[in-house]
Structure 1
Amino acid sequence: MIWAGWIYVALIAILVCFQACMALGAPWGHLANGGRWRGRLPPAMRMAAIGQGALLAFMGTAMAARAGIVPDWPNWTFWAAFAVTIATTIANLATPSRAERFLWGPVTVVLTICALRLAFS
């Protein structure tokens, strides 16, 4: 079970870094939010990237706690992170942005597999 936690945390760390880069102005708008923006995100969406990064960090910590990597957190945090992981996977597989679908679709599928492993072990 701990392997699922470590994989989840590693992938979440990559996603947090991605969001931080987007917030700082990286020209990767086509790889997020349905590919709505080309190049740099507009200021409001750059602020949203900060919030998304914080949410991802919360999710990674909740999963790490479930795996026994960090001290326990309330059980509801795992289930909240689990639900957001599933929703994010569906969104990334259904996005109209081909680039986003091919980049983040597989990543979120692996996150879902890890979350399922943690949920049912």
Structure 2
Amino acid sequence: MKYVRFVPAGIYNGIIWFLSSGPIFVNIQGFDKTAHIVEYSVLGFLLAFALNVSSDNFDKMAKYSVIFGINTGIIDEIHQYFVPGRSMDGIDLFADITGIASGILVWLMLVKLFEIIRSNQIFSRK
């Protein structure tokens, strides 16, 4: 049952793979880099959720999230090399890595916020 947390990341990873298997939908200069950052931010967030990254285990679990995310980006870029109309691009990979890190940080900020709310540090009257 503990692996259920990986289902959203797995499904989303499949969506990324599917979308990168076809032609580019929008060809606006610079848009693809933004799209890479956004889509990999979501993946980073879902990976952090799957691995239950928190301030207590940040070093270990965030590292696993980053490694998995970077490997996903590398495999996706290699995959795009073989797709007609697509190409492998190191700058896209950098955008993927930036997105992964951003998603993990957003997850960690939300975890911290909920920890503060749960401990009533925000709403307590002192």
Instruction: State the TM-score bracket (shorter-chain normalisation).
Output: 0.3 to 0.5
Q: TM-score, normalised by structure 1?
A: 0.34
Greater radius of gyration (CA): 2
Q: TM-score, normalised by structure 2?
A: 0.33
